Amino acid sequence: MTKQPPAVYLLHGSDEYSLSQSVAEIHAHLGDQVAAAFSTTRFDGKTLSLNELENAVKSLPFMTERRLVVVEDPLASIKGKPQQARFISILDQTPSTTALVLVVNRDLRFKDGNSKKDHWLLRWAHSAGNQVYLRSHQAPRGTGM
């Protein structure tokens, strides 16, 4: 029995290079890159409607086992609790035939380590279990540069 891959990938942090590398790695796992291009959709969160996102994640893949949906800055157009709830509902209902990659170019963790104050999306990710892959990409500082 093979392990089911996560449906949602939440990548966050300030290191834009490593964020883009992670997206490229996920894309590479789709198999043949020419075929994968037909099953890949990219959105800018500043102009994305939740209806568009829902339609994209529920569409079947074409010529690949999984569909890839990448959303840059998914939080840009989500305003208020009703939209947050709808967004989380879409994430919860993302089928296993879709890899939904959310790229957030900032750290979603509360700075003092208090997880109860973390961003609402990060709290959802911690509660979603194996359905979500979570990775922080922080820009190197000091000797790490």
Q: How many CA atoms lie within 13 A of 124 on its CB side?
A: 17
| pLDDT: which is higher, 73 or 3 | 73
Q: Length of the chain in residues, anyone? A: 145
**Backbone φ and ψ of 135, nearest 5°:** -145, 130
CB atoms within 10 A of CB 17: 10
Q: Which contacts (CB < 8 Å, 24+ apart) does range 94-97 have? A: 94/7, 94/8, 94/57, 94/131, 95/7, 95/57, 95/58, 96/4, 96/5, 96/7, 96/66, 97/60, 97/61, 97/65, 97/66, 97/67
Q: In the chain, what is the straight-line distance between the N-terminal and C-terminal CA atoms, in Å?
A: 42
Give the three-class secondary structure for 114. Answer: coil
C-alpha closest to that of 33 among 77, 81, 68, 75: 68
pLDDT (mean) for 89-114: 87
Q: Give the per-residue pLDDT at 36.
A: 85
Q: Has this prediction a pTM greater than 0.95?
A: no
Inform me whether the pLDDT recorded for 91 exceeds 80.
yes
19 CA to centre of own chain: 11
Inform me whether the pLDDT recorded for 57 exceeds 90.
yes
Q: Give the per-residue pLDDT at 20.
A: 94
